[in-house]
Amino acid sequence: MTAVATPMQPPLTRKPRLHRLGKIYLRTPLYFLTLCTHHRAKLLANESIYTAFKEYCQHARDRGVQVGNYVLMPDHVHFFVSIAESGPSLSIWIKSFKNSLSKTLRAQGKTAPHWQKGFFDHLVRSADSFSEKWDYVQANPVRAGLASSPKAWPFQGFIHELQF
């Protein structure tokens, strides 16, 4: 007997997509984010993207968003973000972030799409979790053979000092 999808039920072979929480009950939640390029294309670890990234993130504070520690890898970016209660939703801010960097990529002659759909987000709940994530992330370039030490990777640092 084969499973048949009805109009009210999705096919059994497709997993339902998880929905993001509509509201987080913290005044300024701290997120750890990972965004990947489309098909993991190596688009991000260059000076023009790095400059665009820093400029966008420095001006994020005007919209109630603070970007903390970050590491740009060739095909993905990790960073910590804190969003004020009066700021945009995380999804709206990420959409704007991706659009901003895509503008720079188009200027470099890179055709879209540039980004995978969606993003990975983790709500940081403790100082230990923050430290653990940052220790792992800043070692990414070393594990990938791109740098001899975390400090030797030129596409990492912080924009705003965030503390848990």
Per-residue pLDDT reduced to its tens digit, 122-156: 999 888 999 999 999 999 999 999 999 999 999 99
* Within a domain: 53: yes
Residue 41 confidence (pLDDT): 97
Cα(64)–Cα(34) distance, integer angstroms: 20
Instruction: List the domain range (segments joined by +) for residue 139.
Output: 32-158
Residue 18 confidence (pLDDT): 56
Is the pLDDT assigned to residue 10 strictly greater than 80?
no
State the amino acid at position 115 in one-letter form. Answer: W
CATH number at residue 70: 3.30.70.1290
* Within a domain: 68: yes
Is the pLDDT assigned to residue 9 strictly greater than 60?
no
Residue 162 confidence (pLDDT): 87
* Within a domain: 163: no
* Within a domain: 6: no
The total of structural domains in the chain comes to 1
* Within a domain: 1: no
Mark residue 145 as left, alpha or beta (left: phi above 0; alpha: psi -120 to 50; beta: remaining).
Answer: left
**Which has the minimum average pLDDT: 50-59, 90-99, 120-129?**
120-129
* Within a domain: 23: no
Average pLDDT over residues 48-75: 96
* Within a domain: 25: no
Residue 164 confidence (pLDDT): 67
* Within a domain: 14: no
Both tokens of 12, joined, read 């059994």
Q: For strand 65-72 and strand 76-83, is the pairing parallel, antiparallel, or unpaired? A: antiparallel
Q: How large a percentage of the chain has pLDDT more than 90?
A: 76
**Which has the minimum average pLDDT: 8-17, 46-55, 124-133?**
8-17
